[in-house]
Amino acid sequence: MLRVETEESGSALTFKLQGRFTGEGAEQVRTLVTRSQPEMKLIIDLAEVMYIDAVGEGVLSFFKRLGAQFVSETAYSRHICERLDLPIAQ
């Protein structure tokens, strides 16, 4: 199961993902992100993600190409960010 929370603060839009980032759920998040305001800084919070499949990894790589930055506070999310070469939010 995937839960997505969005938060807008200043010029940044954060998508906080919780649970399993897989298949159809990952594709739905891709749709949400592509419909968001393109001028806003995009932050993807992976701190509470438990599992990401190949579809989810593809979506994360797509977000990287859009200029997203990623929050990774757990060993698993750090591993994913390192493996996919995702930029870490500062």
pLDDT of 26 reads 97
pLDDT of 49 reads 96
- Extract the tokens encoding 4: 């997505």
CB 49 within 8 A of CB 42: no
Domain ranges within the chain, ordered by starting residue = 2-84
Average pLDDT value for residue range 62-67: 96
For 2-84, CATH gives 3.30.750.24
- Extract the tokens encoding 36: 């968001």
> Residues 6 or more apart from 4 whose CB is under 8 A from it?
15, 16, 17, 18, 29, 32
CB 22 within 8 A of CB 55: yes
pLDDT over threshold 80, residue 27: yes
